Every structure is written in C-alpha cells, then in structure tokens.
A and B are shown apart, each in its own frame.
Chain A
Amino acid sequence: MLFFSFFKTLVNHEVTVELKNDISIRGTLKSVDQYLNIKLDDISVVDELKYPHLSSVKNVFIRGSVVRYVHLPAAAVDTPLLEDATRREASQTAAKAKQGT
C-alpha cells in the first residue's frame, strides 16, 4: 500500500510513464488506484510518429501491469519521508507477523 499512498501524493504533478512496449507518455498524473493503474491528462507521447494511434488522445488510463517505469519530478519526492514510511511499514508488517505466530 505504500506506493499507492506515495503516488497519491504525486497527483497533479508531471510524470513520464514508460510502458513495457517502450512507449513513453508524459502527462499530468490525475489518479492512481490500488493496482497502480494510472490516469494521465494532457498527454504527449515521446516519439509520437512511431505511435500514431495516440495522436488524437488527450488523456489515458494505463493498466498498472504494463508500466515499466514512472519518471518522477525529483522536487516532488520527499526521500527521507519515503524512507521513514518504508521503515514504519516494515516494522508494522513484522509486528503483525509476530502476532500471527
């Protein structure tokens, strides 16, 4: 759930999503869900002539399972906070596992 929450903090930032079929789509992150499906608005496609089917498209819903990378704006990422959250989630998971046994 950590990355779901993390992506939620990036809403309305410009990101570039690289798909497993090598298409790179740049746009404003509008929404994300639990599967990390991504909605982008005002898109522009890197190397548009290679992918003519996207030229009349203004916003896309990308299935999470086909995303290879998401390029993030460095300024919008609070790395220490993310590290902290990771440790907290790890300790919570560990505590839960302990309770279970």
Chain B
Amino acid sequence: MENLSLHDAGPQPPGGGQQMPPGPPPVPQLPPQMFTTAAQLLDLTDKKLMVSLRDGRKLIGVLRSWDQFGNLVLQDTVERLFVQNLYADIDRGLFLVRGENVLLLGEIDLDKDDYVPAPFELGSVEKVFALKKAEEQDRKKTDKRRHRKLAELGFEGEHQGEAIL
C-alpha cells in the first residue's frame, strides 16, 4: 500500500447508473485503498511516535502493532511530563492503548529528535511529577467550580464525562 502514488488511478465508477439522477462528470479518484485507517497506520508502524491521550498524557514510543480500531502497541515507551518551564521523562515500557483514548499520533522527526523548545528545561522526575500533580489538582478544582456555576445556569458544560486535554 505504501508504494501507491497519487498518480495511480483508482477504479472508475461503474458507468450507466440508470436510475440515478444525472450528476456531474465523475472526477478521477485516487485508489480507495489509500484511504483506510490501515493504510494510514501502516506508514507509522515501527516509527517513533508521540501519542497524545485523552487524559492529557504524552507517550513517546515505537509503534509495533495496531488494529482497525486504533488500538496501539507501543514499545520502549516513556511518558513526558510538561509543567511550567520544566519537563521530565518517566520510563514506562510496553503499552497497549485502547483506541478510543488516542487524541493524535505524531511521527517524531528524527532530525529534531527530543527537541524541546527553549523555555523548557529538563527537571528531575520527582520535582516535575510533584508539580504536575499539584497543577492537575488545581485544574480539577477550577473545573469543578466552573461546572457547578454552569449547571446553576442550566448549561451542561462542554465535555461532560469526557475529559479532553
């Protein structure tokens, strides 16, 4: 599938749709097998990826396996925490991530591997972890307050029951 180029024509739509109302002339289509979840993930297999999860975690690891639901197996995974102007990596190992929890997969540019923009500095895991925990508790508190106020006004809040960070 990787070897298909955009110039390989896909199958032409079947001619002479008798009962169909007349439409515009068919546009040349790209091969349909390029437009499947499998084709998209196949290109990312065995690459180093940054996986962003729905609970806000950032995992960095090598994609070893996946299925049509977007369930993923990540090898040699580290979790990277960012807080204030510090970051830290925690070794996590092998991950099986259920597809629904994935926000996005980013292929890491190996030329810019482990590049973290300027204000961020490597901190000790204990310190960053503690700061992160404090930050999360803070956020939970404000979220709770906001939801309570919104509920008083009859609003349900944007991602009730589905925290997307």
Q: Which residues of A contact B (CB under 8 A)?
A: 4, 8-9, 11-12, 19-21, 31-35, 37, 39, 43, 48-49, 52-63, 65-66, 81, 84-85, 88, 91-92, 95
Hey, which chain A residues are within 8 Å of B120, CB to CB? 52
Interface size, chain B (Cβ < 8 Å): 46
Return the chain A residue nearest B44 by Cβ.
A61
Judge whether B58 and A53 touch: CB under 8 Å: yes
Q: B87: nearest residue on chain A (CB-CB)?
A: A52
- Cross-chain contact A61 with B41 (CB below 8 angstroms): yes
B52: chain A residues within 8 A (beta carbon): 53
5 tightest CB-CB pairs across the interface, nearest first? A57-B106, A58-B109, A56-B112, A61-B105, A56-B115
Are A33 and B37 in contact, CB atoms less than 8 angstroms apart?
yes
**Total A-B contacts with CB atoms under 8 angstroms apart:** 107
Q: Is the CB of B115 within 8 A of A55?
A: yes
A39 touches B40 (CB 8 A): yes
Decide: A84 and B106 in contact? CB cutoff 8 A.
no
Asked if B50 is an interface residue, CB under 8 A from chain A, the answer is yes
Main secondary structure of the interface of A (DSSP, over half): mixed
| Residue pair B39, A31 in contact (C-beta under 8 Å) | yes
Q: B112: which A residues are within 8 A, CB to CB?
A: 55-56, 58
Indicate with 1 or 0, residue by residue over B44-62, a CB within 8 angstroms of chain A CB atoms. Answer: 1000001010100010000
**The one of B30, B87, B106, B119 that contacts A11, using a Cβ cutoff of 8 Å:** B30
* Nearest B residue (CB) for A45: B106
| Contact surface of B with A, Cβ cutoff 8 Å | 6, 19-21, 23-24, 27, 29-30, 34-37, 39-41, 44, 50, 52, 54, 58, 70, 80, 82, 87, 99-100, 102-109, 112-117, 119-120, 159, 164-165
Can you identify 18 A-B contacts, CB atoms within 8 angstroms? A20-B159, A21-B103, A31-B34, A33-B35, A37-B37, A37-B70, A54-B106, A55-B112, A55-B117, A56-B50, A58-B112, A59-B106, A60-B104, A62-B103, A62-B104, A66-B103, A84-B24, A88-B20
- Check if B104 sits within 8 Å of A19, measured CB to CB: yes
A54: chain B residues within 8 A (beta carbon): 50, 106
